[in-house]
Structure formats: structure tokens, C-alpha cells
């Protein structure tokens, strides 16, 4: 049995072939490895794939014991720091169960060099989403994960080409790019850049009736931008907002859109664990280091 662990914005999700469960990131501060028995007996676990924060200090899918600082350049940066993800990572690392850590996409990743104008493209759990979606859609896909933040990726011929991170382009409900007003507030000392990022989503900038249409528009724009590099790639939405905006995104893009639920990342991650521990040496163009 293999298990995938999704370090999401609001929750930690755990999936395996026999089931799945989720806990809030706050509740994850009390996680113990025995909690995985909710999926299967611990003795039956052959391998785990785990994500942690931005995953920006390594570029290969790596055995957990080989990483320093949990695979991060620094804990400082965009995002909310709670402690649940740290607890889960450390419990897995100390358990003795074989485990791999999934990297994010960044300047050290084997993506299209043009995307490296920005230091960071996507966090690790989106790799799980891409793997799950490509299992059903094939080796070409444009994927937009839409929830608290919006991140879109392109896969061509089975390899990750690049991605737009949450702080670059499309907003989610809570997070988004820093606009002129945000920059002014930061310069005036009214908030930090990270605080501005966490309040740049549509929930803070638009009336309620305008929020979902705006998220749909910007997600569709990211997908349309990625279509420049692969015009025939099918398009998929994942994340908690996916079913709510799918029809509008289809209308904007003029094509069908596949919809995946909140378990897409953890399911893809457990399949990455399965395939890596059974001998696969590349995942979506990312090498392994066991």
C-alpha cells in the first residue's frame, strides 16, 4: 500500500488505494504516524509521498532522509505558517517508513527556461494534481487548480513545461498578486508583503456576486496563455472552486473542461509513491533521487 499526503492551503489530505481522509492544518499539529491506520495498517505501507511548503531547495523527487531544511530555501515567504505541515513531515521522516518528498517547480527545475523569469512556479502538491489528471487525460494537459489561490500548469508529452504560481497572475479566494494598492500599503508600513498576498484574493477585493466570475475569468486567462505552448492540450480544473466555475471557464475558452475534486492531489501523490517505489525513475520529467 502507498500513501500520498497533500499539504494544501487549508487542509492536509491523505490518500491511498483503500481510502482517504483530511484534517485541518491546525489539527495537523497533533498528527501522529499511527493516524495513517485510518487508511491501512502501518505494516502494510510500502511507501509515502509527502509535500512540504514550496519545495524550492531541490528539483528531484528525493528520499526524505536526504533533504536538509525539509527541502526549503527558507520558511519565510508567501503563505500562511501554521505548523501542521511541519508536524506531518517530521512524523513521516521519523517513522522509518520509506518516503519520498516531491519538489516544487522553481529556477532549478527542468522546465521551459522562459518560466524562470520568476523564482517560483508552483508548490509540490500541484505535481500530484498533474500526475492524477494526466493518468486520465493523457500526456498533454493544461491544469488550473482553483481554491484559496489559483495555480496553473502545462504538461506536454508527459513532461512539466512550466506553471504560473499564485502570486503571479490569477487570484483565488484569499491569495493573489500584489497590485499597486498593495505595494503602497507595504511601502507605508501598513502590512508585510506576505500579509498583502494573503489578502489579495477576490474575497477581499470584490462584492460577493462578482467573486466567482472574476476567478473564472483569470483562471481561463491562465489556461489560454498556456495554450500558446500547446494549443491542442485538453484543459482541466481542480480544487474546491472547480465545479463552481467550470461552466463559465468552458464558455470563456470555447471548449470542454474536465473537473477534478479536492482529492486530486493526494490521489496523484499516492500514485507517484507507488510508481517511484516500484522502479519508475522519472515523473512528469522530474528525476528521482532515492
Give the tens place of pLDDT for each residue, 169-220: 999 999 999 999 999 999 999 999 999 999 999 999 999 999 999 999 999 9
The closest of 179, 174, 149 to 164, measured between CA atoms, is 149
pLDDT at 236: 98
Give the tens place of pLDDT for each residue, 114-164: 999 999 999 999 999 999 999 999 999 999 999 999 999 999 999 999 999
pLDDT at 222: 98
pLDDT at 239: 92
pLDDT at 80: 61
Give the tens place of pLDDT for each residue, 68-122: 889 888 766 555 666 788 899 999 999 999 999 999 999 999 999 999 999 999 9
- Is the separation of the CB atoms in 57 and 69 below 8 Å? yes
Backbone angles phi, psi at 31, to 5 degrees: -60, 140
Q: d(Cα 207, Cα 82) in Å, to the nearest integer?
A: 28
pLDDT at 26: 87
- Is the separation of the CB atoms in 237 and 260 below 8 Å? yes
The CATH architecture that domain 2-171+207-289 belongs to is: 2-Layer Sandwich (3.30)
The closest of 234, 223, 206, 114 to 170, measured between CA atoms, is 223
Residues present in the chain in total: 290
pLDDT at 213: 98
**Parallel, antiparallel or unpaired: strands 47-50 and 99-101:** parallel
User: What residues contact residue 236 under an 8 Å CB cut-off, 6+ apart?
Assistant: 133, 137, 141, 142, 143, 144, 257, 258, 259, 260
> Above pLDDT 70, what percent of the chain?
97
pLDDT at 81: 63
Residue ranges of domains in the chain? 2-171+207-289
- Is the separation of the CB atoms in 143 and 238 below 8 Å? yes
- Residue position matching grid coordinates 489561490: 149
Amino acid at each position: 500500500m502507498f500513501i500520498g499526503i497533500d499539504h494544501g492551503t487549508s487542509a492536509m489530505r491523505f490518500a491511498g488505494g483503500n481510502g482517504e481522509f483530511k484534517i485541518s492544518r491546525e489539527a495537523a499539529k497533533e498528527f501522529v504516524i499511527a493516524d495513517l491506520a485510518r487508511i491501512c495498517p502501518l505494516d502494510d505501507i510500502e511507501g509515502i509521498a509527502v509535500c512540504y511548503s514550496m519545495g524550492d531547495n531541490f528539483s528531484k523527487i528525493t528520499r526524505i532522509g536526504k533533504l536538509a531544511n525539509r527541502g526549503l530555501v527558507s520558511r519565510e515567504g508567501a503563505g500562511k505558517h501554521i505548523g501542521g505541515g511541519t508536524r506531518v513531515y517530521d512524523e513521516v521522516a521519523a517513522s522509518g517508513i520509506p518516503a519520498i518528498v516531491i519538489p516544487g517547480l522553481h529556477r532549478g527545475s527542468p522546465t521551459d527556461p522562459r518560466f524562470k523569469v520568476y523564482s517560483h512556479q508552483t508548490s509540490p502538491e500541484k505535481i500530484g494534481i498533474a500526475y492524477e489528471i494526466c493518468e486520465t487525460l493523457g500526456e498533454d494537459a493544461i491544469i488550473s487548480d482553483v481554491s484559496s489561490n489559483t495555480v496553473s500548469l502545462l504538461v506536454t508529452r508527459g513532461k512539466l513545461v512550466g506553471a504560473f504560481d499564485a502570486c503571479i497572475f490569477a487570484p483565488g479566494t484569499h491569495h493573489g498578486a500584489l497590485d499597486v494598492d498593495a505595494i503602497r500599503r507595504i511601502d507605508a508600513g501598513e502590512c508585510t508583503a506576505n500579509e498583502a498576498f494573503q489578502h489579495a484574493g477576490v474575497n477581499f477585493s470584490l462584492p460577493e456576486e462578482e467573486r466567482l466570475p472574476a476567478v473564472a475569468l483569470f483562471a481561463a486567462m491562465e489556461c489560454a496563455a498556456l495554450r500558446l505552448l500547446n494549443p491542442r492540450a485538453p484543459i482541466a480544473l481542480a480544487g474546491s472552486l472547480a465545479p463552481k466555475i467550470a461552466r463559465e471557464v468552458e464558455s470563456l475558452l470555447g471548449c470542454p473542461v474536465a473537473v477534478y475534486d479536492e482529492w486530486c492531489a493526494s490521489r496523484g501523490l499516492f500514485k507517484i509513491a507507488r510508481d517511484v517505489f516500484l522502479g519508475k525513475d522519472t515523473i512528469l520529467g522530474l528525476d528521482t533521487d532515492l
